[in-house]
């Protein structure tokens, strides 16, 4: 199933935010049950083009957001670049620790979640984002 025009527009806007805009990006779309809910953060968006569209205002705070940045990985050797990539994924997972704490993962999923680390194997590294998206999708249903 393809994305609707509205979803494509949101995706384009979300990806256009720079790293400096991370707080805006996360607060616009992200629901965060493990900390204060990010809806009704109008003050962050007033004066921005996105806030002029009522449809986008209704969407603010409704989607889980994964923010990953690999720009700081500039290693010249594969092993170091791989370790830093794994560290980035591990840091991402720690932001979603509430999935473990709230018991919404089965035993296999908990094992996988805990396996995401700097030293994870290649299979875990390549599946980490996919698995986290699955966990979050189920959590927010």
Q: Which tokens go with 5?
A: 């025009």
Output the pLDDT for position 22: 54
Helices 122-139 and 78-95 pack at an angle, to 10 degrees, of 20
Say yes or no to pLDDT of 137 above 50.
yes
Please report the pLDDT score of residue 18 as a whole number: 44
Q: Are 50 and 56 in contact (CB under 8 A)?
A: yes
Shared domain for 99 and 131, answered yes or no, is yes
pTM of the model: 0.65
DSSP line for 73-100: ---SSHHHHHHHHHHHHHHHHHHTTHHH
What pLDDT, on a 0 to 100 scale, did the predictor assign at position 38? 54
pLDDT of residue 17: 44
pLDDT at residue number 139: 85
Q: What is the pLDDT of residues 67-101, one digit of tens each?
A: 788 888 999 999 999 999 999 999 999 989 999 99
Residue 64 belongs to some domain of the structure = no
In a domain, 30, yes or no: yes
Is residue 39 in some structural domain? yes
Residues 65 and 93: their CA atoms lie apart, in Å, by: 12
Does pLDDT of 25 surpass 70? no
Whole-number Å distance between alpha carbons of 46 and 24: 11
Beta strands in the chain (DSSP E): none
Band (pLDDT 50/70/90 cuts) for residue 66 is confident
Backbone angles phi, psi at 43, to 5 degrees: -60, -25
Structurally, the chain folds into a number of domains equal to 2
* Tens digits of residue pLDDT in 101-120: 988 899 999 999 999 999 99
Q: Is 116 exposed, middle or buried (0-12, 13-18, 19+ CB in 10 A)?
A: buried
Q: Is the pLDDT of residue 51 over 80?
A: yes
Looking at 59, 90, 105, which one is the last position of a domain? 59
pLDDT confidence bin for 132, thresholds 50/70/90: very high
Judge whether 35 lies within some domain.
Answer: yes
Region 28-46: mean pLDDT is 57
Residues 54, 99: one domain? Answer: no
Task: Give the structural domain span for 84.
Answer: 78-139
54 vs 60, more confident: 54
Q: Please state the separation of Cα 65 from the chain's center in Å.
A: 4
Within a domain: residue 12? yes
């Amino acid at each position: 199933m393809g994305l609707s025009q509205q979803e494509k527009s949101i995706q384009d806007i979300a990806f256009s935010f720079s790293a400096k805009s991370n707080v805006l990006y996360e607060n616009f779309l992200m629901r965060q049950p493990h900390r204060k809910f990010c809806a009704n953060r109008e003050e962050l968006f007033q004066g921005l083009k996105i806030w002029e569209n009522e449809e986008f205002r209704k969407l603010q705070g409704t989607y889980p957001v994964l923010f990953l940045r690999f720009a700081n990985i500039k290693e010249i050797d594969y092993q170091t670049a791989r370790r830093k990539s794994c560290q980035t994924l591990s840091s991402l997972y720690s932001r979603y620790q509430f999935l473990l704490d709230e018991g919404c993962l089965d035993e296999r999923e908990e094992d996988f979640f805990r396996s995401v680390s700097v030293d994870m194997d290649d299979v875990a590294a390549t599946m980490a984002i996919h698995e986290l998206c699955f966990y979050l999708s189920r959590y927010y249903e």
